[in-house]
């Protein structure tokens, strides 16, 4: 008996060939959920890709959903009969490289030198700091935060981490604390890097109080979810010159409207949520590798890896 699998999204022909070689299944591809034929919705047991409740309601035989994303906090509504897995780990190295890039960029004041070049200026900026010996706190110690600190440690930084529960402290981390212990560390950190999932517990975590706990010359990095930082509070403290820089790959709201004041807030450096995009280069390959591995496990009757805890959202 064959298993019908629906593959959502636009993929290369090479990727589709990999899906088609999976044993004991029939592959149905669709660019968007609304493009799936009713008869395929009725028969499919596995769905690959992000979807919506109105689609799932039409899939009575669905047993397993495999996401392309690591984030899975928007699926609390999913019926418990359906197993949900994410692509945890596929993005960690790439996002860590982005974080390392923005950290060094802000430390060396590179954006300001580039703007100086635009006006053909020649000025030596002060407050250029060394990466080696800096104290870096990763708020979030999943695949992304861990990969970032591993690289930071290799370059001589002293690394600290915040994790929901204390376990598995890497050798390159000096101290690991729970969120309750974070405030004591913030005033000593040169860099505070957020890679948090978009769960209710992190909404507004970095409000004005916490932003002001950070050193005046500290750098804030956010690659997790925009709602973990209170945008109005960030604009206020940055406008007052409280932080050296804020490097944001995620923000609230998102996409950021063209007239939003965050665009022009001093020393806020924005990228449009691109650090972990799976369509870019190696990220795409790693995501597809993770998806294929999980589909193979499920088709063999084995449990998939990286099953999402519906209550935690990751």
CATH, residue 214:
3.40.50.720
pTM for this model (two decimals) = 0.90
Which residues, 6+ apart, have CB-to-CB distance to 40 below 8 Å?
Answer: 4, 6, 28, 30
For residues 79 and 108, membership in a common domain is answered with no
Report the b/e string of 60-80 with b at 16+ CB within 10 A: eebebbbbbbbbbbebeebee
C-alpha 193 chain-centroid distance: 12
Token pair listed for 43: 């028969």
Q: Is 306 within the bounds of a domain?
A: no
For residues 157 and 229, membership in a common domain is answered with yes
Count of alpha carbons within 13 angstroms of residue 249, beta-carbon side: 22
pLDDT grade for 278, boundaries at 50, 70 and 90 = low
pLDDT at 281 over 90: no
For residues 141 and 256, membership in a common domain is answered with yes
Q: Is 80 within the bounds of a domain?
A: yes
The count of other CB atoms within 10 Å of the CB of residue 10 is 10
Paired strand residues for 66: 48, 85
For residues 54 and 160, membership in a common domain is answered with no
Contact call for residues 164 and 179 (beta carbons, < 8 A): yes
Contact call for residues 162 and 142 (beta carbons, < 8 A): no
For residues 86 and 96, membership in a common domain is answered with no
| Angle CA 156–159–161, to nearest 5 | 160
For residues 140 and 231, membership in a common domain is answered with yes
pLDDT digits (tens, 9 = 90+) for 54-65: 999 999 999 999
pLDDT digits (tens, 9 = 90+) for 219-269: 999 999 999 999 999 999 999 999 999 999 999 999 999 999 999 999 999
Which residues, 6+ apart, have CB-to-CB distance to 26 below 8 Å?
Answer: 2, 3, 4, 5
Contact call for residues 231 and 262 (beta carbons, < 8 A): yes
pLDDT grade for 66, boundaries at 50, 70 and 90 = very high
Token pair 């517990």 in the structure block, residue: 201
Q: Are strands 3-8 and 46-48 parallel, antiparallel or unpaired?
A: parallel
**Distance between CA atoms of residues 46 and 66, nearest Å:** 8
Q: Is 305 within the bounds of a domain?
A: no
Q: Is 308 within the bounds of a domain?
A: no
Residue scoring higher pLDDT (52 or 189): 189
Look at the chain and report how many structural domains it folds into: 2
For residues 105 and 248, membership in a common domain is answered with yes
For residues 132 and 188, membership in a common domain is answered with yes
Contact call for residues 101 and 286 (beta carbons, < 8 A): no
For residues 125 and 56, membership in a common domain is answered with no
Q: Is 129 within the bounds of a domain?
A: yes
Contact call for residues 106 and 128 (beta carbons, < 8 A): no
The torsion angles phi and psi of 73, rounded to 5 degrees, stand at: -75, -5
Q: Which domain holds residue 46?
A: 3-90+280-299
Average pLDDT across the chain, whole number: 94
Q: Is 60 within the bounds of a domain?
A: yes
For residues 108 and 71, membership in a common domain is answered with no
Please give the average per-residue pLDDT across 150-162, as a whole number: 98
pLDDT grade for 2, boundaries at 50, 70 and 90 = very high
pLDDT at 67 over 80: yes
pLDDT at 21 over 90: yes
**Distance between CA atoms of residues 191 and 148, nearest Å:** 12
Indicate the burial class of 100 (C-beta count within 10 angstroms; 0-12, 13-18, 19 or more): buried
Report helix angle 13-20 to 282-299, nearest 10: 10
pLDDT at 1 over 80: no
The predicted pLDDT at position 89 comes to 86
The predicted pLDDT at position 114 comes to 96
pLDDT at 120 over 70: yes
Please give the average per-residue pLDDT across 281-305, as a whole number: 92
The count of other CB atoms within 10 Å of the CB of residue 240 is 11
Please give the average per-residue pLDDT across 13-19, as a whole number: 96
Q: Is 309 within the bounds of a domain?
A: no
For residues 211 and 264, membership in a common domain is answered with yes
Q: Is 155 within the bounds of a domain?
A: yes
Please give the average per-residue pLDDT across 186-205, as a whole number: 92
**Distance between CA atoms of residues 33 and 45, nearest Å:** 15
The predicted pLDDT at position 282 comes to 66
- Which of 45, 94, 147 is closest to 286 using CA atoms? 94
Please give the average per-residue pLDDT across 70-91, as a whole number: 88
The torsion angles phi and psi of 6, rounded to 5 degrees, stand at: -100, 125
Contact call for residues 248 and 273 (beta carbons, < 8 A): no
For residues 96 and 222, membership in a common domain is answered with yes
Lowest pLDDT segment from 41-50, 96-105, 278-287: 278-287
Please give the average per-residue pLDDT across 99-128, as a whole number: 96
The predicted pLDDT at position 255 comes to 95
């Amino acid at each position: 008996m064959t298993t019908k699998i629906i593959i959502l999204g636009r993929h290369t022909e090479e990727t589709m060939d990999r899906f088609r070689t999976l044993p004991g299944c029939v592959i149905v591809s669709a660019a968007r959920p609304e493009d799936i034929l009713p008869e395929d919705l009725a028969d499919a047991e596995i769905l690959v890709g992000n979807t919506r409740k109105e689609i799932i309601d039409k899939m009575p035989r669905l047993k397993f959903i495999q996401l392309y994303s690591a984030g899975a906090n928007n699926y609390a509504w999913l019926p418990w009969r359906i197993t949900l897995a994410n692509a945890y780990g596929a993005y960690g190295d790439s996002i860590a490289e982005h974080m390392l890039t923005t950290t060094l960029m802000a430390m060396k004041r590179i954006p300001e030198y580039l703007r100086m070049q635009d006006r053909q200026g020649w000025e030596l900026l002060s407050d250029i700091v060394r990466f080696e010996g800096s104290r870096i706190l990763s708020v979030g110690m999943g695949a992304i935060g861990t990969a970032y600190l591993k690289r930071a440690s290799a370059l001589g930084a002293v690394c600290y981490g915040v994790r929901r529960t204390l376990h598995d402290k890497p050798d390159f981390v000096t101290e690991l604390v729970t969120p309750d212990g974070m405030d004591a560390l913030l005033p000593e950190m040169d860099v505070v890097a957020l890679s948090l999932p978009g769960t209710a517990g992190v909404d507004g975590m970095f409000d004005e109080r916490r932003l002001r706990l950070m050193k005046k010359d500290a750098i804030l990095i956010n690659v997790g979810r925009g709602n973990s930082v209170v945008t109005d509070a960030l604009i206020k403290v940055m406008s007052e010159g409280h932080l050296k820089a804020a490097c944001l790959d995620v923000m609230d709201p998102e996409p950021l409207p063209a007239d939003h004041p965050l665009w022009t807030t001093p020393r806020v450096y924005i990228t449009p949520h691109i650090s972990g995009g799976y369509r870019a280069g190696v990220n795409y390959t790693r995501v597809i590798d993770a998806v294929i591995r999980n589909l193979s496990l499920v088709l063999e009757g084995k449990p998939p890896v990286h099953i999402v805890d519906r209550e935690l959202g990751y």
